[in-house]
Amino acid sequence: MRIPKRWHPAGLLVALTVLLAAVGVLPYFPPAVPLRTGVVSPQDVVAPRTVEFVDWERTEAVREEVAAAVPVAYRAVPDAMERSEQEARGLVESVLAVRADRALSPEARRERLRRLGLQAEALEAALSLDRTHLLAALDAAVSAAYRLMARPLRPEDLSGARQQLEPILREKGVRGPALAFSRWVADRALRPNLVVDELQTRRAREAARAGVEPVRVRVLKDEVVVRRGEVVTPEHMRKLQALGLATGPWPWSKLVGTLVLVAALVTVLGAYLAHFQPEVWASPKLLVLTGLLVWLGAAGTRLVAATIHPLLVPTAAVAILLAVLVNPRLALFAAGALAVLAGTLGTQDLRLVAVAYAGAAVGVFSARRIHRRTDLAYAGLLVGLANAATALALDLLTGAPTRDAALNAGVGAVGGVLCGILATGALPYLEDLFGLVTPIKLLELSNPSHPLLRRLQLEAPGTYHHTLMVANLAEAAAEAVGADPLLARVGTYYHDVGKLRRPGFFVENQVGGQNPHDRMAPSLSALAVAAHVRDGLELARQYRLPKVVADFIPQHHGTSLMAYFYHRAVEQQQGPVDPETFRYEGPKPQTREAAIVMLADGVEAAARSVQNPTPERIRELVRRIVHERLEDGQLDECDLTFRDLERITQVFTRLLVSMFHPRLEYPEASLEAHRRRRQRGVGAIPVPGRRPRVGP
């Protein structure tokens, strides 16, 4: 995929914001249906998609019912009886005071007693009974009130309690006028010992209201919302509004909210890339890939959540792909943004944020060490388990029915497996489209059964053996300096594939001592040898090798001098020779891995020509070749440091010493004598530390 060189990351962020906003707001603009409450629908209205929404009107009605069902809370009145007795005695004292006032006329006395609340029989009793009988009636009234107030007595219980006063007084032997007066005193003194606790009642009802879950209404795709000829109700209108089918003003709040949310998420993502992922921020390819996957994830989330089930959103698939194609840290950050979008743009259910991010995080951690494409399916299985566990936990915490909790857990598990399958299927296409090489791709290229490697084994076995030796050196050195050992090994496997066109021109493939360069001019030999770079690049295109692997073909030689042919030319011409005509075209190694392969290729070839390869000779050889490449400027364009070169030198020396260690020589005479002794049955060649075997 080619991306223009002149571009700015901010432009991509703006484009991503627009595309994500479109995903969020377009569903709010489907064709509206001209209906309103109370009219007869002229047609069947069918839901164009599945939607789930909170019916706040029904929720409020349920909350009111639940709150009204909460019983009133009461609190005890600690001094109710004392106040009752005080009230009774105060009334009687007032009556006695009026009776004792001699200045009052009989009519005035009656009027004063009426003001105290006395009427009819009680009034006559208050005027006719003497003080002793009045006090006795008072004691009876207080006793009756105490008896009734000895049990819980609420304000609403007073009416029934007053009806019990006369029977209680009769039990106490109160009769005649005293009964009417005593009943009046007890009736006035009787009071509730429990009163309404307004604060506790309000708190209990608020708690009951808060405990009511929002009433969620699910409208399925193709469900008939309103039938033709049916009177449109408020419930119908709420469903139409959730589907975006109700006529009315534009949903400005949703539009603005969506735009602000998307802009904020994209801005945060861009800031994260610029400050913490500079290699991605500076790479148009990786930035476009990230934006594309985020947009596809958001669009897929919107589509799946609206039409199938919210727990099938592909957030984890996007996270796995980003972890494999870019890096796990970016995948985790992008997964968080997608999880927020899933919970807001998809179903307005914030629980989905937790489920989506938990599954995506598990997918990222599972994808860190992927060695085969089938490992992605295993990652999907782990995502499914994470989805199921998170969905089940949230449903149990919110008190969802067991059946719904089990269903959501099952759907979450299926969604995780589908994410793994989706990532497995999309990965090779994204690799080819963006020219990226993942560890999975490198492992596939390292398979000896690859067609190009099979050709190398059969048509240029010497080169293939040399390649394996160099690959061991390069991999160990790359690991020692913190480079990519797998890339170094795979790049080495293909760095000399161009020798397949003319394998006999290279000494490792020559048999019988025939060297075609003996009959060629040095300049022509140099052209023939240098051609293996162009031939290798052509084969790389033919076999569709990734660019990062094909780059090893020219870069492992850089612009180095073909010294053998150059010196031959100098000897033959006995005059000045332009060394530039004997140099490879380059470019010089651009990566640490390519530079390591250049050094490994040089030291391995040179080590094969060392007579009596002692550790000291090999160490000096390695240092000399590394120094020559450094002095020739071949390492100027890569990031190897002097410390890296020292570590590489140590690794090469250690491995080459083990590869080219001295071997014991068996003289022909000794072998022949051994064969004769074997024929005579004398025994084997003595081994130091063991007694020779005698006899058959």
At 677, the pLDDT band (50, 70, 90 cuts) reads low
The domain spans of the chain are 75-192, 251-436, 450-659
251-265, 470-484, 485-499: which range is least confident on average?
A: 251-265
193-219 average pLDDT score: 87
How high is the pLDDT of residue 663? 56
297-322 average pLDDT score: 87
Q: Residue 534 belongs to what H/E stretch?
A: helix 522-542
75-89, 268-282, 622-636: which range is least confident on average?
A: 75-89
How high is the pLDDT of residue 517? 80
Contact in structure between 322 and 273 (CB atoms under 8 Å) = no
Neighbour tally for 503: CB within 10 Å:
18
348-377 average pLDDT score: 85
pLDDT digits 0-9 by tens, 467-482: 999 999 999 999 999 9
Q: What is the C-alpha to C-alpha distance for residues 158 and 416, in angstroms, rounded to an integer?
A: 66
Highest mean pLDDT among 324-328, 345-349, 513-517, 677-681: 324-328
Sequence-ordered list of residues with C-beta below 8 angstroms from that of 659, at least 6 positions apart, any chain: 469, 607
61-70, 572-581, 627-636: which range is least confident on average?
A: 572-581
More confident residue, 247 or 655: 655
Angle separating helix axes 615-631 and 592-607, nearest 10 degrees: 130
Count of residues for the chain? 696
How high is the pLDDT of residue 688? 41
How high is the pLDDT of residue 190? 81
679-694 average pLDDT score: 42
Q: What is the C-alpha to C-alpha distance for residues 191 and 198, in angstroms, rounded to an integer?
A: 19
242-256 average pLDDT score: 68
Q: What percentage of the chain has pLDDT greater than the value 90?
A: 30
420-426 average pLDDT score: 92
At 685, the pLDDT band (50, 70, 90 cuts) reads very low
616-636 average pLDDT score: 93
222-239 average pLDDT score: 87
Beta-strand (E) ranges in 220-353? 224-226
CATH class given for the domain over 251-436: mainly alpha
Does 2 have pLDDT greater than 60? no
Sequence-ordered list of residues with C-beta below 8 angstroms from that of 187, at least 6 positions apart, any chain: 162, 165
Does 249 have pLDDT greater than 60? no
Contact in structure between 382 and 416 (CB atoms under 8 Å) = yes
Mean pLDDT of the chain: 83
At 696, the pLDDT band (50, 70, 90 cuts) reads very low
At 253, the pLDDT band (50, 70, 90 cuts) reads confident
Does 682 have pLDDT greater than 50? no
CATH code linked to domain 450-659: 1.10.3210
Q: What is the C-alpha to C-alpha distance for residues 290 and 335, in angstroms, rounded to an integer?
A: 11
Q: What percentage of the chain has pLDDT greater than the value 70?
A: 89
85-94, 108-117, 439-448, 671-680: which range is least confident on average?
A: 671-680
Sequence-ordered list of residues with C-beta below 8 angstroms from that of 185, at least 6 positions apart, any chain: 88, 91, 92, 137, 138, 141, 142
371-379 average pLDDT score: 82
How high is the pLDDT of residue 347? 61
How high is the pLDDT of residue 626? 94
How high is the pLDDT of residue 693? 37
At 692, the pLDDT band (50, 70, 90 cuts) reads very low
More confident residue, 557 or 163: 557
Q: What is the C-alpha to C-alpha distance for residues 406 and 432, in angstroms, rounded to an integer?
A: 40
How high is the pLDDT of residue 472? 95
273-281 average pLDDT score: 89
Highest mean pLDDT among 174-178, 185-189, 251-255, 295-299: 295-299
